[in-house]
Amino acid sequence: MEKRVIFKGWMLPALLLMPQIVITAIFFFYPAGQAIWQSMFVPDPFGLKTQFVGLGNFEYLLNDPYYRASFLTTAIFSTLVTVVSMGVALYLAILADRLIKGSGTYRTLLIWPYAVAPAVAGVLWMFMFNTRVGVVSWYLGLLGYDWNHVLNEAEAMGLVVAASSWGRISYNFLFFLAGLQAIPRSVIEAAAIDGAKFWTRFRTIVWPLLSPVTFFLMVVNVVYAFFETFGVIHTITSGGPQQATTILVYKVYSDGFVGQDLGSSAAQSVILLFVVGVLTVIQFKFIERRVHY
Amino acid sequence: MSEHSGMVQKRGIGHWFTHLGLIIGVLFIFFPIWLAFVASTVTQPEIVRPPMPLLPGGHFIENYSKALFSGVNAPVALMMMNSLIMALGITIGKIIISLMSAFAIVYFRFPGRTIFFWLIFLTLMLPVEVRIVPTYQVIANFGMLNSYSGLIFPLIASATATFLFRQFFLTVPDELTEAARVDGASPMQFFWHILLPMSRTNIAALFVILFIYGWNQYLWPLLITTDPSMNTIVMGIRQMFPSGDDLADWPVIMATSILAMVPPVIVVISMQKFFIRGLIDSEK
C-alpha cells in the first residue's frame, strides 16, 4: 500500500529518519553483526587473543551434550507453558463468554496480572514453594509430599512452568475472549435449536472458528517462553538443578557472562537469531492468510 | 451442567456454575499476590515459622517504610525512581522516533526508502535477550554502564512502534493531505496539526504497552547496573536475597515485590480501554 499524495524533498525525511537510523545502527545492527563475527572465533585461555575457527563453535555446540540438553529443555518448557497458559485461558474465556452480563468485570479482574513482570512472578511463586518458608510446600508436607524444587528436577521444571504460565493467562484470555465474542451468536443458537449439546457445538463450530486466534497465540506464546521467561528462571532456579531448567536464552547468559565464553555465547545467539527468524516467518505467513479471510 | 435451561447463555444452576468457575479462576490468579501482600504486612518470625498466616498483619507501615527508605542494598524508593526514568525514557523515546520515521517513510519518496523500511523491519525480529553480549560491549565501550542512557537506548532500538504508526498513517485519508497542501501547509505543519492529533488513541495505546515493557525489563538492567543505586526495582528484588544460607528478609522483599507491581498495574487498569486496543493492534 502506498500513499498517492506525498510531500516533496529529501532533506526533511532524512532528518526525520536520522534518530532511528543512528540508534538502530549503534545498538542493533552493530551488535548483531558482532555476534555473527564473534561466533567464528575462540579466545585463548588468557583472553588476550582470539583465533578464527570458522564454524567451529557451531560444530562444537551441536555436538555438546549440554547444549543439546538445553534445546530439549527449551522444547519441553515452551510446550508446557504454551499448553498450560492457553488451556487455562481458554477455559476462563469460554466461561466468561457464556455470561450475558458481567464478562467485563471478570475481564478487569483477570487482565492485570499481564502487568506483573516475569521476574516478580518468579519471586511470588518461589515464595509459595520455598522449601523453608513456603506455604504451599508446607501444606504439601502435611499431606505427606516432600516438595523440594532445589533438588528435584521435575519439580523445578513444574515450578518455572507454573510461574511463567500464570503471568501469561491474562494475555491469552483477552485474545480468546475477543475471538469467542466475534463468533456470530446466530450460528451457535441455530446449532442449539438443532439440539447440539455444548461439547458438540464447541467441537464443530466454536473450535474451528477460533483456530486463527489459537494458532496466533501458539506462535506468540512460544516466542514468550523462549525469550521473555529469563526473569522467571533466574529468580527461581538459576537454571538448576543440574541445568534441568537451563533454557537456551539462559544458556546464552550463563555461558557469556558467568562463564565468559564469548565465542560460544555468540554462536548460541546466532542460532537463536535463526530460531526467531523462523518463528517470525511463520507468524507473518499466518497473518497474511488471516488478512485474506 | 443443565443444557436445557437456556439456549446458549446459562441461567439458573448453569449460570451459577459459570460464575463459580470464573471466581475459582480469579482466586487462583490472585492467590500468589495475596500471599505476597500478607507477607509484606507481618513480621519475619511469623514467616520463618511456617505456616505463615493467611490474613494480613499489622506491620504494613513498618515494612513498607523500611523497604522504601532503607531497603537491602539500596532504598526501594530510589530503585522505583530508576525504573520510572527507564520506563518513561523507553516509552517516550520510542514513540517520538517512531512517529518521525513513520512520517518520513509514509509521506515522502526519497532514494533508499525501501531499504530503510526493510532495515527497520529486520529489527522486529531480534529481542535484546539474543544480542546481549555484543550490546553489552557497545555500552561498556561508550562508558554507559550504570547510566540511564545505557538502560534506555538499546531497548529503543527496535521498530515495532514505527511499524504500527506506519500502518496507521496509511489509513489516513489522502484528502486531508491534499487539503493541507492546497492551504499551503508545510509538511511539518501537516504533521503537527493534523497527523499528530489524529494519532492520539494510537499513542495512548502504545504508551501502555511500552511502559509495561520498559518497567518490567529484567535481564538488561541486571547486566549493566552493577551499582546498587542504579538498580531498577524489578531486577533489584533478586539482589535482595542473601547469598549462601542466610535468611532472606521476607517482609521487606515481599513489600518490594508488591511495590514493583503497583505502577504497571495502575497503568493497565486506568487505561484498560487503550491497553486492550493496543495489545490487539500491536499483534496484527
pLDDT band at A45 (very low <50, low <70, confident <90, very high): low
Q: What is the pLDDT of residue A292?
A: 35
Q: What is the pLDDT of residue B245?
A: 66
The verdict on B170 touching A (C-beta cutoff 8 Å) is yes
pLDDT at A172 over 80: yes
Asked if pLDDT for residue B104 goes beyond 70, the answer is: yes
Q: Which of A3, A27, A173 to probe the B interface (max B CBs under 10 A)? A: A27
When pLDDT is cut at 50, 70 and 90, the band that residue A287 belongs to is low
Once rounded to an integer, what is the mean pLDDT over residues A171-177?
91
In a domain, B245, yes or no: yes
Nearest to A24 among B123, B181, B254 (CB): B123
Provide the number of structural domains found in chain B. 2
The range of the structural domain enclosing residue B21 comes to 12-68
In this structure, the answer to whether residues B169 and B57 fall within a common structural domain is no
Angular region, B11: left φ>0, alpha ψ -120 to 50, beta rest: beta
Residues B63 and B143 in one domain: no
Q: Is residue A225 part of a domain?
A: yes
Distances (CA, A) of A81 to A10, A93, A223, A251, A254: 48, 18, 11, 19, 22
* HSE-up (13 A, CA, CB side) for residue A205: 18
B42/B104 same-domain check? no
Please tell me whether residues B22 and B93 are part of one structural domain: no
> Which of the two residues, B255 and A41, has the higher pLDDT score?
B255
Residue A177 structural domain: 69-292
pLDDT, residue B1, reads: 38
Residues of B in contact with A8 (CB under 8 A): 108
Residue count of chain B, please give it.
284
| Domain endpoint, select from B24, B47, B68 | B68
Chain B CB within 8 Å of residue A60 CB: no
Mean pLDDT over residues A123-138, rounded?
Answer: 92
**Same domain assignment for residues B89 and B60:** no
pLDDT at A75 over 50: yes
pTM of the model: 0.89
B40 and chain A: CB distance < 8 Å anywhere? no
Please check whether residue B262 lies inside any domain of the structure: yes
- The residue ranking higher by pLDDT, B129 or B87, is B87
Q: Chain A: nearest CA to B183, how far in angstroms?
A: 14
Q: Is residue A17 part of a domain?
A: no
Closest CA to A72 of A163, A171, A157: A157
Segment B158-177 mean pLDDT = 85
Residue of B nearest to A28 (CA): B157
ipTM of the complex: 0.88
Residue B100 lies in a domain: yes
Q: Give the whole-angstrom CA distance, residue A176 versus residue A168.
A: 13
Q: Would residue A48 count as lying in a domain? A: no
Residue A19, in any domain of the structure = no
Task: Point out the domain boundary residue: B68, B85, B100.
Answer: B68
Both B128 and B103 in one domain: the answer is: yes
Q: Which residue of B has its CA nearest to A236?
A: B238
User: Number of structural domains, chain A?
Assistant: 1
Partners of B47 on chain A (C-beta within 8 Å) are 133
pLDDT digits (tens, 9 = 90+) for B217-259: 999 999 999 899 999 999 999 989 887 667 889 999 999 999 9
Is there a domain that residue A246 lies in?
Answer: yes
* pLDDT computed for residue B261 by the predictor: 95
Residue A91 to residue B22, Cβ atoms within 8 A: no
CATH of the domain at B99: 1.10.3720.10
- Between CA A204 and CA A274 the distance in angstroms is 37
Task: State the virtual CA torsion across A204, A206, A211, A216 in degrees, nearest 10.
Answer: -160
Residue B16's alpha-carbon distances to B3, B23, B24, in angstroms, are: 13, 10, 12
In-domain check, residue A49: no
- Last residue of one domain, picked from the residues B68, B96, B115: B68
Q: Which residue, B159, B152, B153, is CA-closest to B105? A: B159
Mean pLDDT of B177-202: 90
Could you give the count of Cα atoms lying within 13 Å of B30 in the half-sphere of its Cβ? 12
Could you report the per-residue pLDDT of A228-237, keeping only the tens digit for each? 899 999 999 9
pLDDT at B3 > cutoff 50: no
Alpha carbon distance A139, A147 (integer Å): 10
Q: Is residue B7 part of a domain?
A: no
Check residue B221 and report its DSSP letter: H
Any domain includes A25? no
Q: Give the pLDDT of residue B126.
A: 67
For the cut 90, the answer to whether the pLDDT of residue A124 exceeds it is: yes
Q: Are residues B238 and B139 in the same domain?
A: yes
Same domain, yes or no, for B114 and B246? Answer: yes
pLDDT tens profile A53-73 = 878 888 888 889 999 999 999
Asked if residue A267 lies in contact with residue A58, where contact means CB atoms within 8 angstroms, the answer is: yes
Q: How confident is the model at residue B267, as a pLDDT? A: 92
Residue B44 contacts A, CB cutoff 8 Å: no
Residue with cell 535468611: B247
Residues B41, B105, single domain; the answer is: no
Q: Which amino acid is at A257?
A: F
**Gap between the Cα atoms of B100 and B95, Å rounded:** 9
User: Which of A31-45, A66-80, A110-124, A161-175 shows the lowest mean pLDDT across its residues?
Assistant: A31-45
Provide the shortest C-alpha distance from residue A133 to chain B (in Å): 5
In a domain, B150, yes or no: yes
For residue A128, what is the domain's CATH number?
Answer: 1.10.3720.10
Confidence of residue B216 (pLDDT cuts 50, 70, 90): very high
> Which residues in chain B (57-86) have CB-CB distances under 8 A to chain A?
none
Same-domain check for residues B52 and B85: no
What's chain A's length in residues? 293
Per the domain annotation, does A78 fall within a domain?
yes
Is A277's Cβ below 8 Å from some Cβ in B? yes
Partner residue opposite B133 with nearest CB, options A23, A128, A256:
A256
* pLDDT higher than threshold 60 for residue A195: yes
Verify that B223 and B181 share a domain, yes or no.
yes
Please tell me whether residues B63 and B81 are part of one structural domain. no
